[in-house]
Amino acid sequence: MMGIDRYRNNIKSLTHFLFAGCLLASVSLSAQQTKVLQHGAHRVGKRTDAEMATWRGYGLGQFIHWGVYSLFGGELNGNYYNGAAEWIRSWKDMPHGVYDSAYKQFNPASFNATQWAKMAKQMGVRYVTFTTKHHDGFCLWPSKYTDYTIANSPYKKDIVKQVVDAYSKEGIDVYLYFSVMDWHNPDWRYDLKTKEDSAAFERFKLFTKNQLTELLQQYPQTKGLWFDGTWDNSWKKSGAFTDTLEQYLKTLHPGLIIGSRFRADEFGNRHVDANGVLMGDYEQGWERKIPKTYADVHGNDWDCVMTIPENGWGYQKKWLGHWKSTNEILEMTAQCVSLGGNFVLNFGPRADGTFRPEEVTIAKEAGDWMKINSAAIYNCEYTGWEKQDWGYYTKKTGENKVYMIVFNVPVSGSLKIKPAKNTLVDKAYLLTAPGKNLSLEKLDYGASFIHVSSTGYKQPFVIVLETKEGSEKSDEQKAKT
């Protein structure tokens, strides 16, 4: 016995030795390409804590852009700005004096945070991201670090607090949008070229830290921060500061979720560090675009933020060009969830606090669909099954349940299914008719058809597939050609 054990142990240490050798070899091999970073990513792979698991399961979110720009709605003296409405201050036709004093008219008489939250709840969103301060620098909370806040508008009351409280009460998690770039603060710099720039930016960094601390302390229900306006050289040259600040915010607020748009490494890399590793808790680069394949998401958590019109986040009086239908929005939601991400739809309320009818309709219609079909969206992930033309697969995390969200029924009415290796479909049924099994016509090599009516659909529908482990035929049994 002893002898065998010793032999086994020797084998074990030999394998350990070989393994360690390989590891060393691979480390030293890649050391040529791997930079040692002080302020690079501090984690490889996804976060594994409960807060992030909740985030991952949201499926659908709401974004809200609201601020001084909402007063203009993309218009000045009858002329319309071509760019995104929340950027109107940077229009050549906009005198800064006009924009910067407009907050004296910000008085949203019809604002009702409870109604907003109830509309979002009805729509089925599970998180909201709300603009506390956009690039113009106007704060929707009474920040004590600037006078350019809601407290000095005729409205006076704290808007961020009302939004945080009302949404939290509805069970919708709140994330705060915060633009680092601040057109109102004289210490903001695009780049640091002179000593004076650096001195000003030191003050600006402290101001930013103070405001973020203030937000987390005043709104402790906050689940995360959504940063924007972090692309300029001034910020990119502040890698060490951004890293320290991120860690400080997380100490202040354990579990806090911050995307990849916040900080830079010491070489000025953003989103991914000099070694190509994601910095932040999820990939925050999917703005108005959706990955096409799972390979595109590089194993990261991610969400996609999307406008209803082609572009423009703040209220725009005139929506020119295409604006998305509810079915397009549902398709984007399904596509995102099928690729392991969340979909976040933006709303731009009017300055008086009301939503335009197009947005109300979309929220209502999407919510009506979600009421029936949200099982295929909430707590779902990527399946790994081969994509089919009829739509999108999602898989319930931790369960043997796959959903087919069907958008395009072929003229044959035959929906093809090809499960991943070692997976069999046990049962199929409409999500709306769980007692009534659909028949599966077996095809070769583990694929099947489900035959449905080829016409008559107004909305996407969901088929549930209950799966089990196993394979139709072993590889040995397959015909050799």
| Residue whose beta carbon is closest to ligand 1KN | 313
Told to check if 84 binds ligand 1KN by CB under 6 A, we report yes
What does the alpha-carbon distance between residue 449 and residue 410 come to, in Å, rounded to a whole number?
12
CB-wise, 356 or 395, nearer to ligand 1KN?
356
Q: Residue 87 Cβ, how far from ligand 1KN at the closest point, in Å?
A: 6
Q: Interface mask (CB under 6 A) for ligand 1KN, residues 95-134, using x and -?
A: ----------------------------------------
Indicate which single residue of 188, 262, 313, 393 sits in contact with ligand 1KN (rule: CB under 6 A): 313
Told to check if 228 binds ligand 1KN by CB under 6 A, we report yes
What does the alpha-carbon distance between residue 41 and residue 35 come to, in Å, rounded to a whole number?
12
Q: Residue 106 Cβ, how far from ligand 1KN at the closest point, in Å?
A: 18
CB-wise, 138 or 393, nearer to ligand 1KN?
138
What does the alpha-carbon distance between residue 3 and residue 402 come to, in Å, rounded to a whole number?
51
Contact at 8 Å (CB) between 161 and 115?
no
Told to check if 86 binds ligand 1KN by CB under 6 A, we report yes
Q: Residue 287 Cβ, how far from ligand 1KN at the closest point, in Å?
A: 6
Q: Interface mask (CB under 6 A) for ligand 1KN, residues 26-65, using x and -?
A: ---------------------------------------x
CB-wise, 86 or 266, nearer to ligand 1KN?
86
Per CB under 6 A, the segment of 9-17, 83-91, 353-361, 378-386 that binds ligand 1KN is: 83-91
Q: Residue 85 Cβ, how far from ligand 1KN at the closest point, in Å?
A: 9
Q: Residue 114 Cβ, how far from ligand 1KN at the closest point, in Å?
A: 25
CB-wise, 137 or 419, nearer to ligand 1KN?
137
343 pairs with which residues across the strands? 60, 304
Q: Residue 69 Cβ, how far from ligand 1KN at the closest point, in Å?
A: 9
**Cα dihedral 409, 414, 419, 424 sign:** positive
Q: Residue 165 Cβ, how far from ligand 1KN at the closest point, in Å?
A: 23
For ligand 1KN, the binding residues (CB under 6 A) are 65, 84, 86-87, 228, 287, 305, 313
